[in-house]
Amino acid sequence: MKYYIFTIVYVLFFSFTALKAQEVEHVILISVDGFRPEFYKEEGWPAAHMKILAEKGVYADEVRTIFPSVTYPSHTTLSTGVFPADHGIFYNTEVMDNGKPGKWFYDFSQVKARTLWQAAKEKGWSTASVSWPVTVNNPYIDYNIPEIWSFENPADRRGATAEYATPEGLFEEVVSEATGKLDRDEYNLSSLRMDGNLGRIAAYLVEKYRPNLLTVHLPNTDGAQHKSGREGEEVKRAVAGADHAIGEIYDAVKRAGILDKTAIIITGDHGFVTTHTSISPNLWLKQNGLYDKAFFFSTGGSAFLHLRDKGDKNTVTRVKDMLLGLPMSQRSMFRVITGEMLTKMETVPGVSLAISANDGFCFDNESEGSLLREKTGGKHGYYPDFHNIYTGFIGFGAGFSSQKRITYMQMEDIPAMIAFLLKMELPDAKGVVYPGIMKNDKK
């Protein structure tokens, strides 16, 4: 839906032209990787800051993510308002000809859609970002600490981050002024210190530069749930760490004296499913003489059928028939995602068949060995039409109503909302701004 339609709807239905949202000068978008609405809705989760902001502001019971429900495509939808078919980030990584994952998507030139940062710069706003995926070499971010790592030693992110941070010297500045000296494991996913340090960096940027648009990605809750599933001590520790980082950012907004002009949005990229068994669907193709024609590429919860010959539609039919003809003991582990369902979700171009695992199951890219393997922990990537894979939403501060609950939202609604709050042009965004969640709405 076009941005100007949002404005017309508000004028016609609420008969006022001076929305409180027009007073917003700063928006902070915080993505908690693997964010689930239970974190702020249920007792037992150590998330005091999230819960207070949700109680005082606006929150959603669930937010439908995209397909595949994985980190990099989801974050690109959060920054563009469009789906993978339009923004060009289909998976976390490129797909190699042999069916294995290739390079991670990381360079901004790979994003094919207009972004919030571009819209902000055209409006004259200042921008900043901390550890947001696919932001390396982004010319629209004034203060950018991108998500990047050494390709030779992926556990060490410091050198690559310093190289690609903009302006030059920004990473050294935040280390000196915000985090203190960082050891390797204090700035990677092996330690909860990662979220803590990212929170300190974001807080520093708020106080020092007061950006009008700040995007922040906190990744540790994802790793904890991959390891432990939806529950467990490690997940609670990670949630507490993300919540503390959010508190750091909130306090920085107060110290900067801009709380009354700032909207804080907390959301995520996907939920999680607890697993016990991994399936190797490429073995089905091998057993039926189809692996030389196509391969399944796994995103964890789903697997997408890639044709070796793009025009070979006959193989798609043969694979679908094969899947439907499997023994019930295997057929009950997954469901077929048809071309119509893929089109609806505007997902990977050229793919007309996928499979999504049922509860407890996931997929891998193996083409040798056993069909089934023990796989305890958690996965995402599933077709997004059930609660556990959905993410959450909290909106607090300038422009938002108080004590409002939304039962259901869609991920693409969030960038449309940010464009509305900052009066920016994001005409291709496919989300909507819901009546009743903005201040002064009488609905």
In this prediction, residue 346 carries a pLDDT of 98
- Cα 62 to chain center, whole Å? 14
Per-residue pLDDT at 2 exceeds 60: no
In this prediction, residue 436 carries a pLDDT of 83
Query: Tokens 């042009």, residue?
Result: 425
Helices 3-14 and 413-421 meet at what angle, rounded to 10?
A: 70
Per-residue pLDDT at 24 exceeds 90: yes
Per-residue pLDDT at 5 exceeds 70: no
In this prediction, residue 27 carries a pLDDT of 98
The share of the chain scoring above pLDDT 90, in percent, equals 91
Look up the CATH number of domain 3-271+388-421.
3.40.720.10
Tell me which H or E stretch contains 353.
none
3-state SS of 146-209 is CCCCCCCCCCCCHHHHHHHCECCCHHHHHHHHHHCCCCHHHCCCCCCHHHHHHHHHHHHHHHHH
- Output the CA torsion 405→411→412→413 (10° steps): 10
In this prediction, residue 215 carries a pLDDT of 99
Phi first, then psi: what are they for 256, rounded to 5°?
-75, -10
Per-residue pLDDT at 228 exceeds 90: yes
Confidence grade of residue 440 (pLDDT, cut at 50, 70, 90): low
- Tell me the mean pLDDT in the region 124-128: 98
Check if the beta carbon of residue 350 is closer than 8 Å to that of residue 376: no
In this prediction, residue 352 carries a pLDDT of 96
Check if the beta carbon of residue 260 is closer than 8 Å to that of residue 217: no
> Please, which residues bridge with residue 107 across strands?
136
Residue 374, classed as helix, strand or coil, is strand
Average pLDDT, the chain: 94
Residue 300, classed as helix, strand or coil, is coil
Question: Do β-strands 302-307 and 294-298 pair in parallel, antiparallel, or remain unpaired?
Answer: antiparallel
Phi first, then psi: what are they for 48, rounded to 5°?
-60, -45
Distance, in Å, from the CA atom of 288 to the CA atom of 342, rounded to the nearest integer, reads: 24
Tell me which H or E stretch contains 128.
strand 127-130
In this prediction, residue 18 carries a pLDDT of 35
Per-residue pLDDT at 17 exceeds 70: no
Per-residue pLDDT at 3 exceeds 80: no
pTM of the full structure: 0.94
Residue among 158, 202, 162 at smallest CA distance from 178: 202
The string of pLDDT tens digits covering residues 133-161 is: 999 999 999 999 999 999 999 999 999 99
The string of pLDDT tens digits covering residues 363-395 is: 999 999 999 999 999 999 999 999 999 999 999
Per-residue pLDDT at 21 exceeds 70: no
In this prediction, residue 8 carries a pLDDT of 33
Distance, in Å, from the CA atom of 226 to the CA atom of 190, rounded to the nearest integer, reads: 13
The string of pLDDT tens digits covering residues 392-439 is: 999 999 999 999 999 999 999 999 999 999 999 999 999 999 888 877
The string of pLDDT tens digits covering residues 282-329 is: 999 999 999 999 999 999 999 999 999 998 989 999 999 999 999 999
Question: Which one is the CATH code of 274-379: 3.30.460, 3.30.1360, 3.30.450, 3.50.4?
Answer: 3.30.1360
Extents of the domains making up the chain: 3-271+388-421, 274-379
